[in-house]
Amino acid sequence: MALTKVTTAVLNDGTVTNNKLGAEFTTSSVMATDNVDFSVAQVFTKTLSAATNITFSNYSIGGVKDLVITGVQTLSFTTGTVNVAAGEYDGTLSNLIQVLCTDATTPTFWITISQPQ
């Protein structure tokens, strides 16, 4: 009998390890464009050299991505509804920006921005 889906009988607790996850959960990518493609990596890095408008693609509800961004420039986000939950961008420091997609149908994102203490 061929298996047509994964069940708990086949996939036990603790059997999915980090090395079995896709690249979108385990890699880092330097942003060559101003788009965060949720299917590419977990962590995205960028140094701003001009005012930058970041967009999102291939997102799904519950998807979380980490952006590490520096550069004394204006930074904005314009895909769907973007809610800043906490923090402000400071281009003089390295900023950790976490992006959570809470609705993929009507794109909605929550963003938290922090800097090293």
- C-alpha to C-alpha distances, 1 to 4, 109, 112, nearest whole angstrom: 9, 43, 48
* Assigned token pair, 47: 């140094």
Does pLDDT of 116 surpass 70? Answer: yes
Domains of the chain, with CATH numbers?
22-114 (2.60.120)
Sign of the CA dihedral running 37, 101, 98, 72: positive
**pTM passes above 0.75:** yes
Does pLDDT of 40 surpass 90? Answer: yes
Q: Residues 7-34: pLDDT tens digits? A: 666 777 777 777 778 888 888 999 999 9
* Assigned token pair, 30: 């330097």
The total number of residues written for the chain in this structure: 117
Work out the mean pLDDT of the chain and round it to a whole number.
91
